């Protein structure tokens, strides 16, 4: 009634006075922020205000992105886990700093640049052409309007321009590229002798005082992680399949609406004879391989059995014994030149030589299956299974949501389910690094569960097509145990620690003799040791024969023909190692010439990112940032 009156007499001075009075009452009782969040200050950057509305929009976007990642495993407690509120504010602060610095430098973004950038996004295109209606629909479906999206695009373009501006001061020299390439591609080979810790275990005597000292020094290693105990209800769609009733019309409608699912692509069955040729083979080698392939092609076209020729001449070991038979394949399964040739041949036809990255091929098409659509009766059972599966998922979901709607705010899941004759499953305690009992789960699901507090109930969670309602029954905080609680494991660890020390001492004595000039082979023979040698490896590799050994690569690449032994022994989980330089393999200069551009680009990217991060951090340190008002909005 009142709203109708106000609309009808909107221009009346009486109504204007009434509206003014209402506004004044709201301001008096609720404060100005009730009228306009735009004016509420969350933070200041060199005197420039970040409003509550700006903050809310940034926070909403971050929240939406994270919810999209976690989907049905989302929990509101993850907001705190990922510190979303602070991240939203810091992002806005950085945007203000970037915009201000860009203005100083004289950088700006034109409407044309924004428009061109937006038009390149595939999500807004139809048949590879920008579609304005699609643009608006996609934004609307993601709770975003064009103004906000264009503002975000402006910030992105501004950041890109700043990076380009900073990049103008960067130079990557030929020597830097060579050094980088050498670092990643130079190889070394080492000899080594292992002193296994296990060989010293029998001589270890447990000293209680020393073991107590060891425990105090390594106490953190025995920390018991936070653990939770949960109760949950599972809604498995398989349990609802019997409730689904289908009629023939539903099956027919699905068949008509999803013809592409039942369309069989055109397939070719072919044999081939392959003649291997490296991609970087010299012309002389290629000519020789091609000549051999042509001679076999002549035999094939002369009527000799193609299968037997493949067994004799083909260098494709995976099909050679089957006479080169590749079976049936559709488009997209083979390398492009091979596929193009095979799909343009007739049944029984033998191709000319076809060159691919593998070498030369002779192809014979044995059979062709044209594109076809399976009949309804052929796929009726398949469609029925799809429809029943979809319907049972919907039923399980609806049942779970209906049950959640009936739950009181402070529900006790076990008590509630007993009243509704529903099975609840209780787990034992488990940590975030352990599989969830019965469910197993993944890292995201465990993270979602551990973000809940004691007695909290999750939202409806879907994992592996099963719906769950989960309640945290109890939480045990992480703690450091008393020595007596871990005595058995402690004794094992202490003995292993002492054995490792003994192995290290023996290795150090051995290394000292080598560095004094004792011959490697003679000492090994005298001490009854068995030296081994690795293959050549780069700094990025870990020699399999040794296994993961901290500092191995650094130590190995510091050695040389004139300095064959390191200053110290190395240690891994098996014991102590003495290593010796055996040789090096320098970079392939021809390969370096081919890959130089890639390494230069990668090095420039690393420099650019490092410079940008350093530049932004310096600007933040120099900027007057006031976050004092933010606390009440967190």
**What is the reported pLDDT for 7?**
34
Alpha carbons 204 and 134: distance in angstroms, whole number: 74
Contact 584, 187 (CB under 8 A): yes
End-to-end CA distance of the chain: 39
Alpha carbons 298 and 165: distance in angstroms, whole number: 62
Torsion of CA 134, 137, 138, 143, to 10 degrees: 160
Contacts of residue 314, defined as CB under 8 A and 6 or more positions apart, other chains included, come to: 272, 273, 274, 275, 320, 324
- 219-255 residue pLDDT tens: 999 999 999 999 999 999 999 999 999 999 999 999 9
**What is the reported pLDDT for 25?**
40
Closest Cα to residue 554, out of 573, 575, 536, 540?
A: 540
Contact 596, 181 (CB under 8 A): yes
Say whether 346 sits in a helix, a strand or coil: coil
- 455-491 residue pLDDT tens: 999 999 999 999 999 999 999 999 999 999 999 999 9
Burial of 256 (0-12, 13-18, 19+ CB in 10 A): exposed
Alpha carbons 150 and 137: distance in angstroms, whole number: 15
Contact 371, 264 (CB under 8 A): yes
| Regions in the chain scoring below 50 on pLDDT | 1-38
Contact 52, 59 (CB under 8 A): no
Question: Any idea what the Cα angle at residue 513 is, between residues 510 and 514, rounded to 5°?
Answer: 90
Please tell me what DSSP assigns to residue 354. E
**What is the reported pLDDT for 215?**
96
Alpha carbons 580 and 94: distance in angstroms, whole number: 51
Alpha carbons 504 and 578: distance in angstroms, whole number: 9
The first and second tokens of residue 587, run together, are 């970079």
Alpha carbons 385 and 299: distance in angstroms, whole number: 52
**What is the reported pLDDT for 12?**
38
Buried b / exposed e over 580-603, threshold 16 CB at 10 Å, is bbbeeeebeeeeeeebeeebbeeb
Contact 116, 130 (CB under 8 A): no
Contacts of residue 77, defined as CB under 8 A and 6 or more positions apart, other chains included, come to: 448, 451, 452, 453, 456
**CATH top-level class for 266-370?**
alpha beta
Closest Cα to residue 231, out of 474, 463, 441?
A: 474
CATH topology for the 227-248+378-476 domain: Chitinase A; domain 3 (3.10.50)
Contact 599, 183 (CB under 8 A): no
Contacts of residue 79, defined as CB under 8 A and 6 or more positions apart, other chains included, come to: 63, 85
| Sheet strands side by side (includes 625-626) | 48-51, 41-45, 625-626
**What is the reported pLDDT for 633?**
65
The first and second tokens of residue 238, run together, are 């398989």
Its pTM stands at 0.60
For the chain, give every domain's residue range. Answer: 1-35, 187-222+485-585, 227-248+378-476, 266-370
State the helix-helix crossing angle for 52-70 and 84-105, rounded to 10 degrees: 120
- 257-310 residue pLDDT tens: 999 889 999 999 999 999 998 877 888 999 999 999 999 999 999 999 999 999
From residue 253, give the alpha-carbon distance in Å to each of 259, 384, 524.
10, 12, 80
Same fold, 227-248+378-476 and 266-370: yes
Chain-centre distance for alpha carbon 423: 36
């Amino acid at each position: 009634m009142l709203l109708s009156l106000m609309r009808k007499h909107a221009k009346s001075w009486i109504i204007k006075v009434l509206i003014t009075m209402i506004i004044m009452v709201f301001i008096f009782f609720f404060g100005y922020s009730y009228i306009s969040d735009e004016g509420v200050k969350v933070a200041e950057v060199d005197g420039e205000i970040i409003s509550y509305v700006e903050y809310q929009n940034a926070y909403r976007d971050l929240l939406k992105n994270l919810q999209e990642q976690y989907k049905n495993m989302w929990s509101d407690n993850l907001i705190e886990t990922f510190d979303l509120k602070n991240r939203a504010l810091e992002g806005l602060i950085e945007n203000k700093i970037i915009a201000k610095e860009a203005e100083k430098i004289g950088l700006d973004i034109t409407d044309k640049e924004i428009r061109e950038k937006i038009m390149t996004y595939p999500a807004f295109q139809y048949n590879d052409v920008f579609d304005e209606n699609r643009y608006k629909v996609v934004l609307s479906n993601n709770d975003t309007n064009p103004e906000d999206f264009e503002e975000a695009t402006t910030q992105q373009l501004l950041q890109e321009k700043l990076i380009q501006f900073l990049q103008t001061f960067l130079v990557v020299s030929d020597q830097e590229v060579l050094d980088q390439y050498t670092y990643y591609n130079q190889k070394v080979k080492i000899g080594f002798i292992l002193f296994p810790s296990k060989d010293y275990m029998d001589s270890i005597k447990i000293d209680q005082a020393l073991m107590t000292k060891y425990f105090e020094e390594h106490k953190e290693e025995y920390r018991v992680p936070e653990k939770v105990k949960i109760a949950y209800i599972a809604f498995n769609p398989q349990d609802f399949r019997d409730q689904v009733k289908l009629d023939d019309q539903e099956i027919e409608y699905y068949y008509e609406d999803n013809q592409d699912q039942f369309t069989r692509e055109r397939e070719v069955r072919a044999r081939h004879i392959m003649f291997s040729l490296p991609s970087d083979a010299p012309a002389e080698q290629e000519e020789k391989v091609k000549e051999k392939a042509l001679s076999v092609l002549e035999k094939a076209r002369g009527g000799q059995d193609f299968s037997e020729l493949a067994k004799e001449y083909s260098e494709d070991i995976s099909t050679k014994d089957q006479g080169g038979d590749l079976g049936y394949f559709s488009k997209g399964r083979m390398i492009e030149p091979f596929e193009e040739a095979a799909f343009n041949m007739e049944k029984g036809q033998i191709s000319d030589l076809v060159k691919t990255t593998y070498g030369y091929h002779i192809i014979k098409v044995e059979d062709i299956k044209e594109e076809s659509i399976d009949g309804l009766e052929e796929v009726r059972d398949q469609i029925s299974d799809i429809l029943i599966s979809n319907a049972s998922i919907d039923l399980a979901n609806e049942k779970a949501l209906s049950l959640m709607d009936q739950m009181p705010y402070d529900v006790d899941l076990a008590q509630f389910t007993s009243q509704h004759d529903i099975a609840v499953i209780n787990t034992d305690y488990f940590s975030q690094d352990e599989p969830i009992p019965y469910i197993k789960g993944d890292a995201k699901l465990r993270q979602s569960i551990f973000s809940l507090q004691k007695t909290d109930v999750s939202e409806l969670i879907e994992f592996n097509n099963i719906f769950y309602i989960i309640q945290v029954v109890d939480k045990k905080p992480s703690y450091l145990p008393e020595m007596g609680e871990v005595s058995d494991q402690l004794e094992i660890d202490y003995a292993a620690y002492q054995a490792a020390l003994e192995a290290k001492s023996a290795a150090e004595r051995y290394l000292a003799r080598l560095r004094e000039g004792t011959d490697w082979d003679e000492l090994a023979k005298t001490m009854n040791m068995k030296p081994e040698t690795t293959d050549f490896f780069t700094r990025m590799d870990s020699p399999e024969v040794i296994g993961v050994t901290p500092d191995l690569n650094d130590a190995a690449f510091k050695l040389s023909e004139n300095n064959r032994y390191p200053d110290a022994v190395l240690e891994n989980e098996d014991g102590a190692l003495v290593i010796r330089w055996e040789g090096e393999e320098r970079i392939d200069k021809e390969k370096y010439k081919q890959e130089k551009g890639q390494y230069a680009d990668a090095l420039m990217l690393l420099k650019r990112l490092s410079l940008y991060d350093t530049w932004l951090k310096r600007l933040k340190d120099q900027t007057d940032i006031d976050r004092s008002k933010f606390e009440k909005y967190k």
